[in-house]
Amino acid sequence: MDLAVRRMALENLGVRQIGAIHENLPAARLVEASVRRREGMIADNGALVARTGKRTGRSPKDRFIIENSLTRDLVDWGEVNQKFPSKKFDELLRNAAGYIESLEEVWVTDAYAGADPRYRLNVQVVTEYAWQALFAKQLFRRPSAEDLETFEPDWTIISLPRLLMDPEIDDTKSETFVGVDFEKKIVLICGTRYAGEIKKSIFGVLNFVLPTEKDVFPMHCSANVGENDDVALFFGLSGTGKTTLSADPERYLIGDDEHGWSDSGVFNFEGGCYAKTIDLSEEKEPQIYNAIRFGSVLENVAMDRINRQVDYTDDSLTENTRAAYPLEFIEGAVRDGMGEHPKAVLFLTADAFGVLPPVSVLSPEQAAYYFLSGYTAKLAGTEADMETDVEATFSTCFGAPFLPLPATTYAGMLSDRLREHNVPCYLVNTGWSGGPYGVGERVDIAATREIVRAAIKGNLAGQETEKDPFFGLNIPVKLEGVPDDILNPRDTWDDKGAYDRQAKKLAGLFRDNFEKFKDSVSDEVRDAGPSS
């Protein structure tokens, strides 16, 4: 797209006078600009280190969907999908246009969301920070030079971190605002430098567009594939291990976070990875560790300003430290981002109570129950405004903050595909064992990898199991490569009575949470959860 057309595209947003427009620059020039503008510093591993200030995670309380004729009857309105009036959003867009006019430099990145050409969206990211343009370039899928000549955006993301909202004037909840307009096909992000908002906003868009227009199941999951085309899907929220477990040196990475499941198989939405780096080590996660190099972005990672060495163990800024890098930085990544129908589906949960087994074999009804439940634990820093270090949470379909439609829409699409393609499903606890968070220890990543490999190879099928008395889960009695004494979580607790109390407590939370689904699922699914 030439400059005249670029200016016209911005003028359609209400921008009249524009400073320098930097469009689709290569990574090296974006790094140079970020350093020149004092937005970040280069670490000794070559990555650009940027800080996001007080917003070090997503701001779900400040996210809104614009109410209009398209969304009024389709969106599952509530605390997650908050309404925002269309007329007021138009005012915010005019203010944003005026703010853009005041900038000396504007950074524009054109990209694809979706590896399958049949379903991808053309996305244009406009931001005031060069480092956020680099983030968008590395996280989305990158069009070829030839494709850019005829590129026309379907959606526009405007990220203006220094434009702060006034709640009394703008009808927002704070100085931060994230608004999605499905009619105008615009995302407006203000008052936060956290780049994850750019990435997740388009995931929310795809979660609306693909089911309603394309009959494609959008998934908050990572995916990899082996030599025999044995695709595996890993569902789970932030911190449960989607990125870590899908980055397996013995397999090929399709993607680490967001995918679609169509009639021909699975495909990645993104062109990069956004990996958590807290306590990252070359020994335990070599693929991620070695992917962090020149062209990558380190977000809120501590660094010595003198010798430029980063410290992945330092959580002084946040525990939600991140690395953004293109998929090709992962050795053996699947370049086209596509794969066949999966051979195994794994639900990952970081159980802060320490009472769920490291692996459970799920029946089809249990798969539906635990998918709708979406249990895990949020750790400090993953989201803004958390009141404690750890909060147990149930996030529907392992992605409630990004699901504009009713949860049963997505659960139905999953169930249909599991049945159609005869895909086994497992619940894997990557959280705590031997006690709750702060007392017990996190399940060893090596043991979890052995569990995952056994599930993908089909070695869990037909294994002898014992039924958990609290959750009704089928627990393998023995599994090669995994210590027998960790398979049943009760055996890992010194105080068995304390375990029983914790298990009863969590089982009750499951039942309470599932009350909202009891009238919209079958009796078999409703009864597949914890017993009373």
Residue 243: active-site member: yes
Which of 6, 55, 58, 184 is the catalytic position?
A: 58
Residue 58: active-site member: yes
Answer for the pair 38, 121: CB distance below 8 angstroms, yes or no. Answer: no
CA 289 to CA 469: how far, in whole Å? 40
Answer for the pair 325, 273: CB distance below 8 angstroms, yes or no. Answer: yes
Which of 62, 181, 257, 468 is the catalytic position?
A: 257
Residue 409: active-site member: no
Domains 3-37+62-214 and 343-526 share a fold: no
3-state SS, residue 270: coil
Give the residues across from 181 on adjacent strands. Answer: 186
Which of 243, 360, 376, 382 is the catalytic position?
A: 243
Report domain extents, the chain.
Answer: 3-37+62-214, 343-526
| pLDDT of the residue at 18 | 79
Residue 238: active-site member: yes
Which of 51, 322, 341, 378 is the catalytic position?
A: 322
| pLDDT of the residue at 329 | 95
| pLDDT of the residue at 6 | 54
β pairing state of 105-113 and 20-23: parallel
Fold of 343-526: Phosphoenolpyruvate Carboxykinase; domain 3 (3.90.228)
How would you classify residue 428: left for phi > 0, otherwise alpha for psi between -120 and 50, otherwise beta?
beta
CA 294 to CA 46: how far, in whole Å? 4
Which is nearest to 393 in space by CA: 219, 512, 275? 512
CATH architecture of 3-37+62-214: 3-Layer(aba) Sandwich (3.40)
Which of 51, 242, 251, 449 is the catalytic position?
A: 242
Residue 200: active-site member: yes
User: Per residue in 205-239, is it b (16+ CB within 10 Å) or e — as a string?
Assistant: bbbbbbbeebebbbbbbbbbbbeeebbbbbbbbbb
The secondary structure of 342-398 as a DSSP string is: -SEEEEEE--TTS-S-SEEEEPHHHHHHHHHH-EEEEETTSBTT-SSSEEEEE-GGG
- 245-257 pLDDT per residue, tens: 888 888 999 998 9
Which of 220, 259, 341, 417 is the catalytic position?
A: 220
- 351-390 pLDDT per residue, tens: 988 999 999 999 989 999 999 999 987 655 444 554 445 5
Which of 51, 120, 141, 200 is the catalytic position?
A: 200
CA 413 to CA 109: how far, in whole Å? 33
Compute mean pLDDT per 10 residues along the chain, 532 residues long, and list them.
Answer: 55 78 96 98 98 95 97 96 97 96 95 97 97 98 95 96 98 98 97 97 97 96 94 89 84 94 97 94 92 98 97 96 95 94 96 93 93 81 49 87 94 92 95 90 92 92 89 93 92 95 93 93 92 74
Burial class, 76, CB count within 10 angstroms (exposed 0-12 / middle 13-18 / buried 19+): middle
Which residues, 6 or more positions from 497, have their beta carbon under 8 angstroms from its beta carbon?
Answer: none
| pLDDT of the residue at 405 | 97
Phi then psi for residue 525, to 5 deg, are -70, -45
Residue 257: active-site member: yes
